[in-house]
Structures are given as C-alpha cells and as structure tokens.
Amino acid sequence: MFSLIVEGAITVAVIGVVAKYILDWKKSEYRIDNTELAIALGTLLLVVVPLTAWVGTKIAINNQVSFKENWGGFETRADRKTTTCQRDGSCSHCYDCDPYTVRVAYECGGYTGSGKKRRYVSKTCHRNETRYHSCPYTTEEWTFTIDTTLDPYTIASHNLPTDPDEHRWRSGHRVPDSIPSGTPAFWQAARDRLDRGDPGPVTKRVEYDNYILASQSTILKRFSDSIARYKAASLLPPLNHNIHDFYWEDRAYFVGVSPPGSWQPAVNQLDAALGATLQGDLQLVIVDANQVTDPDNYQGALMAYWESPEFEKDALSKNGIVVVLGTVDGQTVKWARAFTGMPVGNEALIVDIQNTLPGTKLDPQSILGHPKAAVSGNGVTVSHPEPQGALERVLWGEHQFARVHMKSRGKGSVGYEYLLRELEPTGWQRFWILFVTVLFACIAWGICIAHGAPAYRSWRSSHYDY
C-alpha cells in the first residue's frame, strides 16, 4: 500500500502543479498562489491519497480472498400459491379489454410576437383518449415454490391452470397456447419426494474467504509436473461448479470408465447430508486403473489442478473432500485416494478412506449409501439407514469429517491470517486504484481551487489585513 500512496502522491502533486500553471497562463480568476497551492496539496496528500489507497487496497484484498464453495441441504416443503384473477388485478397474463374514455390535459402553448418580443406562452388543452382495462385469460394463476434448508426457490411463477381453456375468465376469449400452464414436472417430483418422507438434495453456491488460494506465496501452492501429461491423455476432468435444475450439481466424474448406476443423484444425496451436518462437500472421481497406474502421482496432479488459478474463484473449496477410486474391471474398487481443500486437517479420515474403500463393489449404493432426512419444522434431521455405503460409514465414522477454519480458533488450531499480510493488489487492481485516485484528485483540486482558495483568502483578509 505504501507504494500506492507514493504513486498517488506524485500524481496528485503533478495534477496540482499543472493546474496552477494553466490557470496562471490563462490569467484566470481562479488562479492560486504558492501558499494556497501548498495548503491544498498538503490536505490532499494527508487525506485523499492515503484514504483512497487504503480503501482501494482493502477492496482489492477482499476480492482476492473471496472464493465460492458448495453448501448442501434438503427440500423441506413444496407449495402452490393460487392467485385469483380479476379485471385490473394482480394476475400476470392479461389482454386489453373493455375500452373507456379518459379526458387528459396536455401542453399546447405556442410562440407569439417577433424579434426581441418573441416569447413562448404556455397553455393547457384537453383531449379524449381511449384506454383499456386489463382482463386475465383465466380465473386463477399458480405459483410453485420449494422451500429448502438453504433458500426458497420459485420453480414457476403465475402458470395458468391445467387445461386453461376450461378456466377462462371470459368464456369467449381463447387462451394462447404459448403461456406456460399446469404443474411443473420438477415441482411435482419434489412434492412426491416430500410426501413419501424422502426430501431431495439441494446445493447452493456461496462466497467464502480462502487465504490459502489467494496467497501469493509459492510454498503454499500445490504443484505437479504431471498435470500436462494427464491432461493430454484426457485423464484429468475439469472441476465442475455449475448448478442445474435450480439446485443440483454434478459431482461424480468418470475417467475412462462408465460404471452402471445413477451416480449423480447419489452423490447429491450424500452431499446434502454431508453439508447439512458436517459442512463438507464431496467430489467423487472414478478412474480406469489400467490407465492410471500411479495413484499417488495422479492424486497429487488432480489436487494441484483443481486448486490452480485455472478455475479462478471456483477452485476446490476448503470444505471440499475429493475421493478418487481406481477400478480395473469397472465392478470393484482396486485402490482409493483422498484429499481435502486444506493443507492440514482430516488426515485420519483420509487414511480411513484409502484403507476402507478397496475391494468395495462399484455401485452407488455400496459406495455412497442413501442418507435420509426427516423434515422437522424448517429444518431436517439426517439419518443413515442400513445398508450404508462405504464412504457414508467413513465420513460419519470415528474420524468423521471436520471443517477446517481459516482463522485460528484457539490453542492447537491452525490459523492462516498471517497470509493476508503478504497479499498485494494485482496489476489491474493497482491500475484501478490509481485511476480512482486521479479521479478523486481532479475533483478535490477543482473544489480547492473554486471554493477553498476564496474561503482561505476571505479568512486571511479578516484576520491579517488591516
């Protein structure tokens, strides 16, 4: 920040000197003398420049440490709101109807006279205008929402009823086919899940602070010289961060294999329970062990790749748990590796995953299980009915996952606040900070010259001139 203050101070001084030179050259009434220049310059250097540099640096650093992570939760309620339609009411799908006349006033003045005596004379006139009421197509409209432990979601707003022509507000006016109608399939499926006591999973992307990913220190950055080789062989899948269908995210990756089963829904279900209880986020990678023959090297490359600047704000988050399963035949797990988004923490859990998963049947139920949630008010209670998946047992087992904090939480807690001290604005951030400094400096110089100098002269005259 000190270098920004110096650069800003030099810029402000140059602007002031150039402004004084131009005003003197033009013999402007706003000319200032050297004393007035010194007073204005001192004020700007002591207030405007340091404040702008401090605020700009703080905003820049906050932007650098801000990343995105997944939160998991469950559906809690599927609701349908019915809006009764009336003429000129609150329904959305309407047409013009029932004309009526309104008398409106308008300006109709004009110019009179000529030459220097020409002037505009205002005059108000009136005319009749035809207006229309707004008539709804149907007698009611439906809005479908799903409440979750994370956020409410609107699935469809102001749909017309099923068979809208059977619900015409006026029997003689046909309803256009282009207007959405009926119950959305996505909402109905959620309603069915809730009715049978098996609420579905929800994922939400949120911002959080990660000092490690933002760190400019090379000793804290993952590195692997095998990334290029694995990418060239199409063995490193890119980290997915796209939410689809309102609140689902694909977090199962397949490299050279296609094991049977509905893996994406199963991972979403486990992540919902993991997020709701342990604040974790599982990413599952299943690879062909015939192509990936060095599990440790592959794990290191995947870790470095997913935490690299290539993914910018969507790099692997601190609550991320990555499990890599190698299979030879597509039927069973040959080897397992795991890592988290933090450099320390959950070491025993990682060892448990690596020791427990080999030999497990490679299907969603055997690997992931199906944690269930029971809705209680606006929250849920998570349970793990048998048969549990191998990962399900380990993640909630003796060495269950624990979210690692960025800030120190007392004795024995690893803190990374010290990394903030090494962060500096990037090149583009420095440019914009200096740009804002110049902008503020120009405004401040204008105020000082136009108002500050006259005020100072008036004060000096009243106190020192006799």
Separation CA 401–CA 321 (nearest Å): 9
At 289 the pLDDT is 96
Q: Do 153 and 286 fall into the same domain?
A: no
- Degrees, nearest 5: CA angle 204-210-216: 140
Three-state SS string across 266-314, please?
Answer: HHHHHHHHHHHHHCCEEEEEEEECCCCCCHHHHHHHHHHHHCCHHHHHH
Residue 202 lies in a domain: no
Give me the mean pLDDT over the 59-75 stretch: 86
Q: Which domain holds residue 441?
A: 2-66+426-464
At 404 the pLDDT is 83
pLDDT: is 162 or 417 the higher one?
A: 162
pLDDT: is 268 or 457 the higher one?
A: 268
Q: Do 175 and 298 fall into the same domain?
A: no
Among residues 144, 167, 195, which one ends one of the domains?
195
Separation CA 242–CA 341 (nearest Å): 19
Q: Do 450 and 407 fall into the same domain?
A: no
Please report where in the chains the tokens 């000082």 appear, as a residue: 448
At 205 the pLDDT is 95
Q: Is the pLDDT at 402 greater than 60, yes or no?
A: yes
pLDDT: is 416 or 261 the higher one?
A: 261
Residue 86 lies in a domain: yes
pLDDT: is 395 or 4 the higher one?
A: 395
At 466 the pLDDT is 44
Give me the mean pLDDT over the 310-320 stretch: 92
Percent of the chain residues topping a pLDDT of 70: 79
Q: Do 405 and 441 fall into the same domain?
A: no
Give me the mean pLDDT over the 73-87 stretch: 96
Q: Is the pLDDT at 217 greater than 70, yes or no?
A: no
44 DSSP assignment: I
Give me the mean pLDDT over the 22-32 stretch: 65
At 465 the pLDDT is 52
Q: Is the pLDDT at 334 greater than 50, yes or no?
A: yes
Give me the mean pLDDT over the 264-282 stretch: 95
Q: Do 432 and 408 fall into the same domain?
A: no
Give me the mean pLDDT over the 222-238 stretch: 90
Q: Is the pLDDT at 120 greater than 60, yes or no?
A: yes
Q: What pairing do the DSSP bridges indicate for beta strands 243-244 and 248-249?
A: antiparallel
Question: Which residues on adjacent β-strands are paired with residue 78?
Answer: 146
Please report where in the chains the tokens 């933002």 appear, as a residue: 214
CA distances from 34 to 20, 188, 331, 394 (A): 9, 77, 85, 76
Is 145 in contact with 184 (CB distance < 8 Å)? Answer: no
What mean pLDDT value characterizes the chain?
85
Q: Is the pLDDT at 211 greater than 70, yes or no?
A: yes
Give me the mean pLDDT over the 349-357 stretch: 95
At 273 the pLDDT is 95
Q: Do 241 and 315 fall into the same domain?
A: yes
pLDDT: is 454 or 143 the higher one?
A: 143
Among residues 137, 170, 195, which one ends one of the domains?
195
pTM for this predicted structure: 0.79
391, 406, 243: which is closest to 317 by C-alpha?
406
Give me the mean pLDDT over the 21-31 stretch: 66
Q: Do 417 and 433 fall into the same domain?
A: no
Q: Do 305 and 156 fall into the same domain?
A: no
- 55 pLDDT band, cuts 50/70/90, is confident
91, 204, 203: which is closest to 143 by C-alpha?
91
Q: Do 249 and 345 fall into the same domain?
A: yes
To 10 degrees, the CA torsion angle through 390, 334, 361, 254? 90
Question: Which residues on adjacent β-strands are paired with residue 206?
Answer: 69
